[in-house]
Structure 1
């Protein structure tokens, strides 16, 4: 069982440039200029809520045994008009109707990302605990198709990808549709919270590991101010004063009343990438809205939750209680 989250390609990118925590932008990604951005103004979390739900299913692309001989499938599924890839790991028992976890990756250089290796030790431990683990490659990552608006859409498209990955997982004949959880790290942690508020039916439980802010404006002002990327975002959307409706409608906090699933937040006290104060604020906001939320502050742990009790153990204990 791992002693933290294994996300090898992401570590160097974080040290190089802190913008990897927001908006799908990575240290190695080129900063687009304002003149190159064209984004419809109505692409928000609200637009996902108001749209007809999609009903994707997994199609097997390849069978692989890259995980110490364990069986896994590389599958495809549709999301928002794009064809995306995911890896499905099955528990050793092979028992039908297993509980499932959709694990959402954080921000990472798309040129280095691989769904076959990201967070593999954590996935190993979760599979060994009896879960089917689905790791989707969100748009613009791995073999998934690209979305030209990806870098500046405040991860609205990627949030839809999470929703559709959970729906496809629930339709898998070897999965118990009533026991699907969504788990995410860093930017992925924020996205699983967003997915749970826009589509409350897709997850029985939600786990956010060192999540970035669920209100993208806070990410933008903290990490992008004074950079060319900030100008790009302002050209696409305007600032908070100019476009209050837009920024409200891309924030999960706006839709907290829709949250139906229990939420576990785990954050290291020595996280020097995403402030632990953001998880404390998230927990307070969810508590104030009368939602089921728990925060674990991992003493001494960094952004990858190294230096703390095994992350998989914390996740499985929570899920065993909330979706037995």
Structure 2
């Protein structure tokens, strides 16, 4: 198995790391959907869990959602013919292994061998790949959900897990084609500027040397893929300039240069260009040429780079945003497979790897994700807002049809039983759009959203509630959280406010430097759309989110109308914030991703007053609506103190804040008992704090500014 190139590695965001860290992970993608990480605490009690929750006179059985399909984190290896995955049980979350993938029909997941007694709900697992030199699976992860990410080996026979590194954080990891050499980037220190170093280890001898350290200078190592040249004399990776995530570069590193060299590696692209998205295609580096992606034009473009001439040639101007790519070998011919995301599905393109010529294009209503590839075989994960997770093994086969030169045959590897799917679906889903406050080319800007409505809505219209996703909404993926809410009679509007991915790099960059500004006003217009088109009152409309979305929830409930001189406000009825930050300055000082703050909010060294004003804690006196805060005690991305300090401040002002802390949890909430506790907290909060106000509203907001 090889790690499929992940743009999220090079572009690690607050909400999404390499491990799909949408928080709380089990709320948005629990056991019924694939998740690439298992990270939170599970009960060790042998007592049978209580799956029942009640809300507004309804009894909701959570068992189908959390135990109907208790498997997640699927990591197939087509080359080495095995499958790794996790099973959530009342006793813990176990890693399981199946050797030998079936040639037809799905895998029997109940027969997977439990590899060890590690409860993987107590640690992060960020994926990896099998290494032939060590005859082991090498992965990145931590040991207690604190995102002190290191490199580990997993023996697939004995299940033994052993550390290969003991450092503060691993930015990047890559292997030579012969799998003998391992290069990795270690970040050292707890505060910006970090001193990050590129290290090279010979796995056959365990000898290691330091190649280059950035000393926290102007050119810095960062999240990246690492690609070796075939002769193992050089490698490619990403650099970041001046702590700015958008201003990045590609660098060629000479592995024979002295370790104490003062000069940065050879930079291949013009320095200072804001690429917005920049990544190298795995396996494309032949020592002279490679393929890379840049969005410096405002949208995704593929390029071929020639080292001898130092020039880049455009290969393909992509219509939509790239979500996955790989080289495939079909009967000796190399092709480039590109997956593109759009709001209602995915597009798969096959291109000539040398020229970029489009050979074939297929459209899918589900969102496709590439999890592995080998020769002409692919492992594809799919889901949509209407259809749960499915993992398929696919093969590209040449045809005699010039219009469609290849056909894609697929067989399921893992999927939910049809009867379980029927038990999980409680929402009707509609794709909608609404106008927001500003204009594009003289016309009102229109934002995309999905609207999830309960199939069994409350008979009393005064008891209706609806949540608005703060960040990151609008995605075409299956959400178990939305289905649970629909069964409880609660609707969800999932919009894509400015700053969301899926609509081009230019749209994603609209909120850069404006954290807590216009992105929040987009949520106000979403709420006004719900009033105008579905008759909700402000007291019935809430906002919710995790991480950046948790902050946006707090901010929406404490928003000063004078922000950006827009004179906008909205009196939301409630808020649900998980792992949000309440003070941007303290978040910057304590988070493990401070460069995200500089990108999204501004530089604390020069813009402290602005960042303080954009902090919900500064405007706690504006908080009137009930707010539920949930947070893991071991969270290093957004430390738990960010929720604690807001809860303390609310106590002093009398604001209606409920705080629930999850001991031992990281940035997400997983593990069976913790997932159940999370939903109990939500429904108790909605029942006790929100429904009475919705039925007897004491404040209103106009449907227009």
Q: Distance in 2 between matches of 1:115 and 1:254?
A: 32
Q: CA deviation at 1:124?
A: 1.0
2:100 equivalent to 1:78: no
Richer in helix (by share):
1
Q: Is the 8 A contact 1:167 1:202 kept in 2?
A: no
2:450 equivalent to 1:87: yes
Deviations 1:54-83 (A, max 9, x none): xxxxxxx99x98254842111112234232
Q: CA deviation at 1:252?
A: 1.5
Q: Distance in 2 between matches of 1:73 and 1:323?
A: 26
Equivalent position of 1:136 in the other structure: 495
Max radius of gyration: which structure? Answer: 2
Q: 2:682 is matched with which residue: 315, 320, 324?
A: 315
Deviations 1:278-318 (A, max 9, x none): 21112112222321111111233332211304333321221
Deviations 1:132-189 (A, max 9, x none): 1111122242555716442332242322222322232233325454311211111101
2:541 equivalent to 1:180: yes
Q: Distance in 1 between matches of 2:476 and 2:599?
A: 32
Equivalent position of 1:190 in the other structure: 551
SS of alignment partner, residue 169 of structure 1: helix
- Cα distance, 1:280–1:10 mapped onto 2, change above 3 Å: farther
- Cα distance, 1:156–1:177 mapped onto 2, change above 3 Å: closer
Q: 1:123 is matched with which residue: 478, 482, 486?
A: 482
Q: Is the 8 A contact 2:637 2:667 kept in 1?
A: yes
Residues 249-268 of structure 1 mapped to structure 2, 5 A cutoff: 249-268=613-632
Equivalent position of 1:217 in the other structure: 585
The alignment's TM-score, normalised by the length of structure 1, stands at 0.71
Q: 2:633 is matched with which residue: 269, 272, 280?
A: 269
Q: Is the 8 A contact 2:433 2:446 kept in 1?
A: yes
Q: CA deviation at 1:266?
A: 1.0
Please, which moves more after superposition, 286-295 or 27-36? 27-36
Equivalent position of 1:171 in the other structure: 532
Equivalent position of 2:104 in the other structure: none
SS of alignment partner, residue 279 of structure 1: helix
2:468 equivalent to 1:102: yes
Q: Distance in 1 between matches of 2:638 and 2:467?
A: 24
Q: Distance in 1 between matches of 2:599 and 2:662?
A: 36
Report the count of equivalent residues: 279
Residues 53-64 of structure 1 mapped to structure 2, 5 A cutoff: none
Q: CA deviation at 1:260?
A: 1.0
Q: 2:612 is matched with which residue: 242, 248, 254?
A: 248
Q: Distance in 1 between matches of 2:527 and 2:540?
A: 11
- Cα distance, 1:218–1:280 mapped onto 2, change above 3 Å: same
Equivalent position of 2:26 in the other structure: 4
Q: Distance in 1 between matches of 2:607 and 2:675?
A: 43
Q: 2:572 is matched with which residue: 177, 191, 203?
A: 203
SS of alignment partner, residue 282 of structure 1: helix
Higher relative contact order (CA 8 A, sep 6+): 1
Q: CA deviation at 1:268?
A: 2.1
The alignment's TM-score, normalised by the length of structure 2, stands at 0.35
- Cα distance, 1:230–1:3 mapped onto 2, change above 3 Å: closer
SS of alignment partner, residue 551 of structure 2: helix
2:494 equivalent to 1:159: no
- Cα distance, 1:260–1:32 mapped onto 2, change above 3 Å: same
Richer in strand (by share):
2
SS of alignment partner, residue 139 of structure 1: coil
